[in-house]
């Protein structure tokens, strides 16, 4: 079977093209780049549970019928949410991290690319333009990896110029990969943030299957910084594991080695949390995993979380180490309560509006 290598050992072995996706400009560009790959015309059959593994190598082109711009699905009633918004360009991910919530989040397998983005983007821009006094912090990396398949989807070609010319929005490309060439070649830098999801070398080696090492990610981040991009980093999920403090220090040492902290807009912390149904999927697909070894309790939002003292210990440790490195990194917690903020960070935004204002001010101070 023919296949196309994307990043390292990431591959595409089959393309599914739904009827409404046929003839779209993005579809035509993708098929041209992946010439020789077997194509299945029409909707692929099969359940999510049959297709999770093979779906990592199946590119599924379709038109998205929902809203392309949506608020991050945080539990604002109980935990402090940052007010982030998601630009839906795709669902699922070619990487295979054992802890990934996408394994249970969607009803369909395959790397599903929304090829009507080009036609619908004007509506997104109209929403942004309709509120010129509001800061829109938008990302493409919530339901997929922002850059893993950028070399064939060319998302950065389409999105970078639109966001760079607007002064009330920033677009964050969040990734675990080193696929930065197309974004760099775009020539656009303003209002764009390139961010990396980081973890300890132990977790990366054991649990983040098909993803580059931490050092390779940070070398890519350094190149982006040298090219004039603003950077972000996300330690989410933090996972306690054997010698976790020493292991996370190894990552922080690499961060210090490769990155100028003055060019970082924010660094977030979050701990592993998941809906109960994910547990059996992780056990079945990743029987050697360590991510379920911790002590969990069901939170108010129904998700399984580490006991509060464990989370506070994780965040406090990371905050103290990073504060010693540089005092203005825009550190914040993802989906945590006011008391956890106070105990681990030494302050709290109080509520979701407070955190949103804090991050909006980071945008204003860096981008103007």
**Residue 165 lies inside a defined structural domain of this protein:** yes
With b for 16 or more beta-carbon neighbours within 10 A and e for fewer, the 11-33 pattern comes to: bbebbbbbebbeebebbebbbee
Q: What pLDDT shows up at residue 78?
A: 80
Q: What pLDDT shows up at residue 44?
A: 61
Q: What pLDDT shows up at residue 51?
A: 54
Q: What is the mean pLDDT of the chain?
A: 93
Most confident segment among 8-22, 75-89, 317-331: 317-331
**Residue 362 lies inside a defined structural domain of this protein:** yes
**Residue 17 lies inside a defined structural domain of this protein:** no
Q: In terms of Cα–Cα distance, which of 307, 215, 202, 212 is closest to 247?
A: 202
Q: What pLDDT shows up at residue 228?
A: 98
Q: What pLDDT shows up at residue 105?
A: 73
Q: What pLDDT shows up at residue 4?
A: 46
Give the whole-angstrom CA distance, residue 179 versus residue 305.
32
**Residue 199 lies inside a defined structural domain of this protein:** yes
**Residue 335 lies inside a defined structural domain of this protein:** yes
Whether pLDDT at 223 is above 60? yes
Whether pLDDT at 48 is above 90? no
Query: What would the 3-class secondary structure string for 86-132 be?
Result: EECCEECCCCEECCCCHHHHCCCCCEEEECCHHHHHHHHHHHHHCCC
**Residue 1 lies inside a defined structural domain of this protein:** no
**Residue 32 lies inside a defined structural domain of this protein:** no
278 vs 44, which has greater pLDDT? 278
What total of structural domains would you count in the chain? 1
Give the whole-angstrom CA distance, residue 175 versus residue 231.
11
Confidence band of 47 (pLDDT split at 50, 70, 90): very low
Q: What pLDDT shows up at residue 55?
A: 78
CATH number at residue 219: 3.80.30.30
Arithmetic mean of pLDDT, 224-250: 98
pLDDT tens digits, residue range 30-44? 999 999 999 999 876
Tell me if 150 sits within 8 A of 183, measured CB to CB: yes
Percent of the chain with pLDDT over 90: 87
- Is-above-0.85 flag for pTM? yes
361-364: list long-range contacts, CB under 8 Å, 24+ apart.
362/265, 362/266, 362/330, 363/135, 363/137, 363/170, 363/265, 364/135
Tell me if 89 sits within 8 A of 117, measured CB to CB: yes
Arithmetic mean of pLDDT, 349-368: 97
Bridge pairing between strands 230-238 and 264-271: parallel
Whether pLDDT at 212 is above 80? yes
Residue ranges making up the domain that contains 93: 65-367
Confidence band of 73 (pLDDT split at 50, 70, 90): confident
Q: What pLDDT shows up at residue 56?
A: 86
pLDDT tens digits, residue range 185-209? 999 999 999 999 999 999 999 999 9
pLDDT tens digits, residue range 123-145? 999 999 999 999 999 999 999 99
**Residue 246 lies inside a defined structural domain of this protein:** yes
173 vs 4, which has greater pLDDT? 173
Arithmetic mean of pLDDT, 285-301: 94
Other CB atoms within 10 Å distance of the CB of residue 119: 12
């Amino acid at each position: 079977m023919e296949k196309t290598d994307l990043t390292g050992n990431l591959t595409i072995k089959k393309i599914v093209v739904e009827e409404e996706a046929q003839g779209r400009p993005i579809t035509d560009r993708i098929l041209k780049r992946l010439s020789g790959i077997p194509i299945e015309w029409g909707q692929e059959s099969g359940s999510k549970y049959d297709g999770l593994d093979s779906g990592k190598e199946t590119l599924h082109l379709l038109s998205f019928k929902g809203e392309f711009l949506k608020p991050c699905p945080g539990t604002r009633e109980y935990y402090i949410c940052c007010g982030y918004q998601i630009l839906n360009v795709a669902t699922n991910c070619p990487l295979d991290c054992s802890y990934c919530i996408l394994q249970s989040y969607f009803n369909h397998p395959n790397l599903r690319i929304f090829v009507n983005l080009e036609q619908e983007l004007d509506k997104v821009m109209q929403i942004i333009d309709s509120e010129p006094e509001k800061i829109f912090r938008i990302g493409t990396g919530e339901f997929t990896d922002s850059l893993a398949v950028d070399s064939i989807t060319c998302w950065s070609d389409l999105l970078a110029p639109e966001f760079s010319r607007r002064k009330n929005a920033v677009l964050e490309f969040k990734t675990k990969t080193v696929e930065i060439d197309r974004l760099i070649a775009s020539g656009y830098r303003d209002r764009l943030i390139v961010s990396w999801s980081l973890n300890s070398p132990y977790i990366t080696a054991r649990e983040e299957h098909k993803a580059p090492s931490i050092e390779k990610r940070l070398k890519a981040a350094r190149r982006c910084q040298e090219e004039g991009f603003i950077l972000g980093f996300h330690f989410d999920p933090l996972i306690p594991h054997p010698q976790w403090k020493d292991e996370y220090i190894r990552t922080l040492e690499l961060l210090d080695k490769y990155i100028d902290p003055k060019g970082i807009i924010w660094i977030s912390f979050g701990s592993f949390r998941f809906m109960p149904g994910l547990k059996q999927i992780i056990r079945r697909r990743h029987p050697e995993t360590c991510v379920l070894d911790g002590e969990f309790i069901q939170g108010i939002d129904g998700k399984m979380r580490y006991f509060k003292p464990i989370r506070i210990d994780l965040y406090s440790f990371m905050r103290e180490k990073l504060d010693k490195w540089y005092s203005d990194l825009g550190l914040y917690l993802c989906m945590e309560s006011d008391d956890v903020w106070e105990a681990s960070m030494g302050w709290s935004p109080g509520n979701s509006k407070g955190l949103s204002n804090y991050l909006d001010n980071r945008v204003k101070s860096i981008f103007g």
